[in-house]
């Protein structure tokens, strides 16, 4: 009933909007509701699962699953309001069952002018690099830690940005037991002092404080009810050079993730980058010690994060290069990463007629060092800040070369060496806690041609992964074809031919056909899906093996 | 339950399509960062001399990079013919921010690059997936948008750019 009312009110708002827009010519009519605009977006992913005994296909008792949302934002002058309706009836396989509902998960009202911005209701926010606070939404992961409360942004003078927030976080269709409170200030030195406006070196400094309150109901341990997390940051830039550093410190916060350790936590994140003409490079380092921070100390998985734990590794996108993704280890990490991007100009020996593009990336992640100390019940340890621990978590070296050989043809080739240690976070296909070492080779070719002045494009990807661990060797082939500018089809085949268990050497075939125009798209697919992990930003969600028919609808307006 | 919800949501979708006709709107006042990490209001970045292509992308998004690489080859000609400017807004978060500038310059892109690290602008413009491209006239009005990229889509984009540039010069 409530759902229907909301739906009707949305549509009502929309109709009103349509009539309101006839008499506006683009600009907002400040302060007047008649200049309003309604915009939104909509996404629906549905799948019907079928029985498939030759693979370990999972099914849903309801037969089909569906994840869908609709966002509606209404704005008029200095006022904005909106809501999101989410529906999981039931959620697709791989999503938490606590999602199996339909309801409003986000609604807000906002007033803003040039200096002040006040939001009541749900909001997203990030302080600095997110080491103290990051509320964000990652639909495909099923992650939404938005805060329901009050947020204020204030810009007293140019170059000063102040933020304050308070509220409780979203927990599926419920709220966090803990309250999150935070303050952040950012000062752009060159903008504050007019004498430095034109200076070549630009300096921005900032600081934040985020605190969580959660009642202590533990009968054996005395748990801190207020846990504070502070951070300071600096950004220096000159010409093509940029340096960004942030250090965060968290008071003791015994939790399920850190096995009730009373240690304090700290984190250091440093990134430097350089950009030149046809050239760019970046290096980064991260030290992370016991900085998992959530609005419920008993939360695990990716429930109720208050801060963000960025993985300092390349975010691979091909099917096989992301088969063994690295999930960050929240207890502690020493990580290093370097990237080089270079465009060899056209007309040179290596550049050829159209130029050649090279990208090299490497990353290194180990544990931090720990020596047990103090009270063992309090699970305390000492850690030398600069010492790298012995346990290897992740190694990655990869090279990618992209080359356009003619007006119609283009190639990309990659070689990747990966070592992923799942001993600390079991995430292999077999579920065993092992170290997976793999070599991956990928070749991709695109061929574009015109028939009757209409453009058609074919794209083929061939990928191979070889490893002696887990499920062994894989071969993947993907073919995509655009039929006209709006229609496309694709076919994907994945063959686990090197599985040590001969009965599990499965072939996974699937295909899809889709139509896309402006901001609307529809895609229908079917076939077998191999199991694996979908990872975004170091957080991974399992996708079980399944067979079935899929439907995807998307639009924005 | 499943089919009823599906029906309701489809109804919402299609009624929203009907409502989506003929409207002019602008990029909202949301703070994004330039490559020097300085805050800039997204409502102020459009090109006042001609059309603006506002392209949402990410370092991990292959079709996005394909699109921006393809346009690179035509960009000088497009600029000469229509005065168009391409502004590429990366939705990369803290994990990949340091790579955004190096990747763009290392691919030889001469676009203006901004970073929307917590997807604030992306949500404000209801972008559900990257790549997503908006076309603005020289007054900053959003006149067209397109989601996704398949090779050849740049032909349609350029056709729209030409229309907008002719419209504004009248």
A373-408 per-position pLDDT tens digit: 877 788 889 999 999 998 899 999 999 999 999 888
Residue A3 confidence (pLDDT) above 60 = no
Average pLDDT over residues A264-272: 97
A312 pLDDT higher than 50? yes
| ipTM tops the 0.95 cut | no
Residues A359, B153: C-beta atoms closer than 8 Å: no
A315:B96 CB<8 A: yes
- On the question of pLDDT at A414 being above 90, the answer is yes
Question: Residue A26 pLDDT more than 80?
Answer: no
In angstroms, rounded to a whole number, what is the distance separating the alpha carbons of residues A280 and A341?
5
Shortest CA gap A273–chain B (Å): 6
Contact A411, A393 (CB under 8 A): no
The reported pLDDT for the residue numbered A22 is 36
List A residues 320-339 in contact with B (Cβ-Cβ < 8 A). Answer: 339
**pLDDT above 50: residue A19:** no
Q: What is the pLDDT of residues B17-54, one digit of tens each?
A: 555 444 578 999 999 999 999 999 999 999 999 999 99
- DSSP helix/strand/coil, A288: strand
Q: What is the pLDDT of residues A166-198, one digit of tens each?
A: 999 999 999 999 999 999 999 999 999 999 999
For every residue of A329-369, DSSP letters joined together read: -TTEEEEEEEEEEEEEPTTSTTTTTT-EEEEEEEEEEEEEP
- Mean pLDDT (whole number) for A24-46: 66
- Closest-CA residue of B relative to A313 is B95
Which residues of chain A make contact with B123, given a CB cutoff of 8 A?
71, 124, 137
Exposure string for A225-263, b = 16+ CB within 10 A, e = fewer: eebbbbbebbbbbeebebbbbbbbbbebbbbebbebbbb
Burial class (CB in 10 A: 0-12, 13-18, 19+), A53: exposed
Per CB-CB distance under 8 Å, the chain A contacts of B5 are 66, 68, 87, 89, 102
Tell whether the model's pLDDT for residue A450 goes beyond 90.
no
Cross-chain residue pair A554–B129, CB shorter than 8 Å: yes
Contact call for residues A320 and A463 (beta carbons, < 8 A):
yes
Contact assignment for B105 to A188 by CB distance below 8 Å: no
Cβ pairs A/B, distance under 8 A: 255
C-alpha torsion angle, residues A347, A348, A354, A355 (rounded to 10): -150
**Chain B positions in Cβ-Cβ contact with residue A90 (cut-off 8 Å):** 2
Cβ of residue A282 closer than 8 Å to a chain B Cβ: yes
Q: Which of A281-295, A484-498, A532-546 has the highest mean pLDDT?
A: A281-295
With a cut of 80, say whether residue B1 has pLDDT above it: no
Residues of chain B with pLDDT > 70, as a percent, come to 85
CA distance B99 to chain A (A): 6
What is the rounded radius of gyration, in angstroms, for the C-alpha atoms of chain A? 26
Exposure of B129 in the CB half-sphere (CA atoms within 13 A): 19
Cβ of A557 within 8 Å of Cβ of B15? The answer is: no
CB distance from A168 to chain B under 8 Å? no
Residues A52-62: what's their mean pLDDT?
89
Looking at the predicted structure, is the pLDDT value of residue A220 above 90?
no
Q: What secondary structure does DSSP assign to A19-79, as a single string?
A: HHHTT--SS--TT-GGG-EEEEEEEEEEEEE---TTTT----TTSEEEEEEEEEEEEETTE
**What length is written for chain A?**
557
Residue owning tokens 């009757």? A452
What is the pLDDT, as a whole number, of residue A35?
67
pLDDT at residue A190 in the model = 95
Q: What backbone torsions phi and psi does residue A129 show, to the nearest 5 degrees? A: -85, 0
pLDDT band for position B10 (cuts 50, 70, 90):
low
Nearest to A445, CA basis, from A428, A462, A432: A462
Number of neighbouring beta carbons within 10 Å of residue B164: 23
pLDDT at A218 over 90: no
Selection from B58, B57, B84 nearest residue B167 by Cα: B84
Positions of E strands within B14-167 = 25-26, 31-34, 39-41, 52-57, 85-90, 112-115, 132-136, 141-147
Least confident of A145-154, A536-545, B113-122: A536-545
Q: Average pLDDT of chain A?
A: 89
pLDDT for position A28: 37
Q: Does A82 touch chain B (CB under 8 A)?
A: no
Mutate to test the interface with A, among B97, B151, B155 (most CBs of A within 10 A): B151
DSSP labels, A130-164: SSS-EE-EEGGGTEE--EEEEEEEE-SSTTEEEEE
Note whether A260 contacts B: Cβ–Cβ < 8 A. Answer: no
Residue B72's φ and ψ, nearest 5 degrees, are -50, -40
User: What one-character DSSP code corresponds to residue B6?
Assistant: H
Question: What is the three-class DSSP state of B119?
Answer: coil
Q: Does residue A33 surpass a pLDDT of 50?
A: no
Mutation target to probe the B interface, by most B beta carbons within 10 A, among A26, A105, A405, A537 is A26
pLDDT at A70 over 60: yes
Backbone torsions φ then ψ of A483, nearest 5 degrees: -90, -45
For residue A27, the chain B residues in CB contact (below 8 A) are 26
- Counting every residue, how long is chain B? 170
Alpha carbons A495 and A477: distance in angstroms, whole number:
9
Angle between helices B2-19 and A2-21 (to 10 degrees): 10
Given an 8 Å threshold on Cβ–Cβ distance, is B105 in contact with A7?
Answer: no
Beta-carbon contacts of A365 under 8 Å, excluding residues fewer than 6 positions away, are A312, A313, A326, A333, A334, A335, A336, A392, A393, A394, A395
Q: How far is B94 from chain A (nearest CA, A)?
A: 6
Distance from CA of B87 to the nearest CA of A (A): 18
Q: Is the pLDDT assigned to residue A21 strictly greater than 80?
A: no
């Amino acid at each position: 009933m409530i759902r229907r009312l909301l739906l009707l009110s949305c549509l009502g708002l929309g109709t009103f909007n349509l009539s309101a827009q006839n008499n506006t010519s683009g600009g907002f009519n400040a302060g007047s509701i008649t200049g309003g605009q309604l915009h939104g977006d909509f996404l629906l992913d549905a799948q019907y699962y079928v029985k498939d005994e030759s693979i370990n296909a999972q099914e849903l008792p309801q037969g089909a699953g569906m994840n869908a949302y609709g966002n509606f934002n209404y704005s008029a002058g200095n006022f904005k309001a909106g809501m999101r309706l989410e529906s999981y009836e039931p959620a697709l396989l791989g999503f938490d069952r606590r999602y199996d509902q339909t309801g409003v998960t986000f609604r807000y009202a906002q007033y803003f002018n040039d200096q002040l911005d006040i939001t009541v209701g749900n909001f997203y926010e990030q302080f600095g690099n997110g080491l103290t606070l990051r509320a964000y939404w990652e639909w495909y992961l099923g992650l939404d830690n938005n805060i329901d409360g009050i947020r204020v942004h204030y810009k007293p003078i140019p170059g000063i940005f102040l933020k304050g927030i308070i509220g409780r976080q979203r927990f599926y269709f419920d709220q966090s037991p803990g309250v999150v409170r935070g303050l952040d200030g950012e000062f752009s030195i060159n903008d504050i002092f007019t004498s430095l406006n034109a200076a070549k070196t630009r300096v921005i400094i900032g600081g934040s404080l985020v605190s969580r309150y959660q009642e202590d109901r533990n009968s054996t341990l005395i748990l801190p009810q207020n846990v504070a997390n502070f951070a300071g940051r600096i950004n220096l830039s000159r010409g093509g050079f940029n340096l960004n550093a942030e250090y965060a410190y968290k008071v003791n916060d015994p939790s399920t993730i850190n096995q009730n350790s009373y240690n304090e936590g700290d984190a250091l994140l440093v990134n430097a980058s350089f950009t030149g003409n046809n050239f760019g490079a970046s290096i980064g380092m991260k030290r992370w010690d016991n900085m998992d921070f959530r609005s419920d100390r008993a939360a695990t998985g990716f429930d109720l994060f208050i801060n963000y734990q960025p993985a300092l590794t390349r975010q691979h996108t091909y099917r096989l290069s992301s088969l063994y993704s690295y999930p960050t280890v929240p207890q502690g990490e020493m990580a290093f990463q370097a990237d080089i991007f270079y465009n060899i100009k056209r007309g040179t020996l290596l550049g050829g007629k159209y130029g050649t593009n090279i990208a090299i990336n490497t990353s290194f992640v180990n544990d931090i060092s720990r020596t047990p100390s103090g009270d063992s019940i309090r699970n305390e340890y000492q850690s030398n800040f600069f010492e790298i621990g012995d346990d290897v978590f992740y190694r990655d070296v990869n090279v990618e070369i992209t080359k356009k050989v003619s007006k119609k043809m283009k190639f990309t080739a990659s070689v990747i060496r990966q070592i992923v240690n799942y001993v600390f976070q079991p995430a292999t296909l077999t579920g065993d806690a092992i170290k997976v070492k793999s070599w991956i080779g990928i070749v991709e070719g695109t061929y574009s041609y015109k028939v009757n002045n209409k453009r058609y494009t074919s794209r083929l990807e061939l990928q191979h992964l070889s490893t002696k661990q887990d499920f062994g060797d894989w071969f993947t082939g993907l073919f995509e074809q655009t039929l006209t500018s709006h229609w496309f089809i694709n076919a994907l085949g994945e063959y686990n031919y090197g599985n040590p268990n001969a009965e599990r050497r499965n072939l996974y075939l699937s295909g899809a056909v889709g139509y896309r125009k402006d901001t609307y798209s529809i895609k229908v697919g079917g076939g077998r899906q191999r199991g694996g992990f979908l990872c975004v930003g170091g957080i991974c969600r399992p996708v079980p093996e399944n067979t079935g028919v899929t439907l995807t609808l998307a639009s924005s307006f | 339950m499943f089919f009823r919800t599906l029906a309701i949501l489809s109804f919402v979708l299609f009624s929203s399509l009907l409502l989506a006709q003929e409207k002019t709107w602008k990029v909202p006042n949301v703070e994004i960062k330039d490559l020097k990490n300085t805050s800039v209001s997204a409502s102020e970045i459009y090109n006042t001399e001609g059309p603006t292509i506002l392209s949402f992308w990410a370092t991990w998004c292959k079709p996005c990079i394909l699109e921006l690489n393809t346009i690179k080859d035509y960009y000088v000609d497009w600029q000469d013919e229509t005065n168009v400017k391409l502004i590429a807004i990366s939705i990369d978060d803290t994990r990949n921010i340091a790579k955004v500038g190096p990747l763009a310059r290392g691919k030889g892109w001469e676009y203006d690059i901004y970073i929307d690290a917590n997807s604030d602008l992306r949500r404000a413009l209801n972008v559900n997936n990257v790549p997503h491209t908006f076309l603005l006239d020289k007054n900053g009005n959003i006149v067209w948008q397109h989601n996704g990229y398949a090779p050849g889509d740049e032909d349609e984009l350029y056709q729209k750019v030409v229309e907008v540039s002719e419209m504004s010069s009248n």
